[in-house]
Amino acid sequence: MSLPKIELPLFELELPSTKQKLKYRPFTVKEEKILLIAQESQELEQTILAVKQIVGNCFSDIDVDKLALFDLEYLLLALRIKSVSNEVKFTIKDPDTEKNVELEINLENVKLIENENHDTKIHINDESFLMMRYPTVNEILILQKDNTAEMLMDIMISCIDNVVSGDEVYKSEDFTKEQMIEFLDTLPSTTIKDLENFFNTMPTMRHEMKYVNENGDEKTFVVEGLDSFFL
């Protein structure tokens, strides 16, 4: 006689970057184990691998390797809320007093912050523009390891999804890296600043918490990035 198969509830949410509707289940003991191992490692690469595995297990019709970092953070947060609780108690060390401070956060207060100056279109002139895509989690990980100007340029070029000129749409994947560089070299110098602005103003999951330290000073603790969501 086999053990019973436990049916898990299904939930639905909207992916921030594309507005795609996704169905997901809460994580199980299997995913909880993966999460604990990642927490113990305290290494960013291991953390990202674990989160990708968990999200891939729990969400249907999704390619985790193509997700933007803020998408991955958003999905992980939704999973944490539905799987465990939206309330989390944790301890931080105040940087001034070096004393432990007990904090409690409602994870539903962690919101996707979108900059009003952000635009996925990089305008070249009245008829032409670059259509950008967000860097994937894997690309962010590459930049963590190699933050050279050459690598930054490589990622920047790879994130140009299409070049639109009038009624013509040119897919960047149809051109070599050298061809794309040669094309960029012909664009107005302001294009590079606009590209940098695209990356600097990308949406981010963030929440600020106020607390008072032992000296009576009001301080701010920022919940941001994958490490913060492992509280």
Integer Rg of the chain from CA: 21
96 plus 208 within the same structural domain = yes
Return phi, psi of residue 153, to 5°: -65, -40
Max CA-CA distance within the chain? 72
User: Does 2 map to a domain?
Assistant: no
Strand order across the beta sheet in which 168-171 lies:
121-123, 128-132, 160-165, 168-171
Q: What are 39-85's pLDDT values in tens digits? A: 777 777 788 888 899 999 999 889 999 999 999 999 999 998 998 88
Q: How many domains does the chain have?
A: 2
166 plus 193 within the same structural domain = yes
User: Does 1 map to a domain?
Assistant: no
Report the distance separating Cα 175 and Cα 31, nearest Å.
Answer: 40
Identity (one letter) of the amino acid at 18? Answer: T
Q: What are 136-173's pLDDT values in tens digits? A: 988 988 887 877 888 888 899 999 999 999 999 999 99
b/e code 118-132 from CB counts within 10 Å (16+ = b): eeeebebeeeebbeb
178 plus 216 within the same structural domain = no
The pLDDT value given to residue 204: 92
Identity (one letter) of the amino acid at 187? Answer: L
85 plus 154 within the same structural domain = no
60 plus 147 within the same structural domain = no
Two tokens, residue 49: 């691998």
Can you say how many angstroms the Cα of residue 52 is from the centroid of all Cα atoms in its chain?
Answer: 11
69-83 and 137-145 helices, crossing angle to 10°: 110
40 plus 98 within the same structural domain = yes
Burial label for 109, CB within 10 Å (0-12, 13-18, 19+), is: exposed
The H or E element that residue 77 is part of is helix 69-83
- In the chain, what is the straight-line distance between the N-terminal and C-terminal CA atoms, in Å? 40
The pLDDT value given to residue 48: 83
- Domain residue limits at 55: 11-111+204-230
Report the distance separating Cα 38 and Cα 51, nearest Å.
Answer: 8
38 plus 83 within the same structural domain = yes
Q: pLDDT confidence of 228, banded at 50, 70, 90?
A: low
DSSP state at residue 68:
B
128 plus 180 within the same structural domain = yes
135 plus 189 within the same structural domain = yes
Q: What are 176-207's pLDDT values in tens digits? A: 999 999 999 999 989 989 999 999 999 999 99
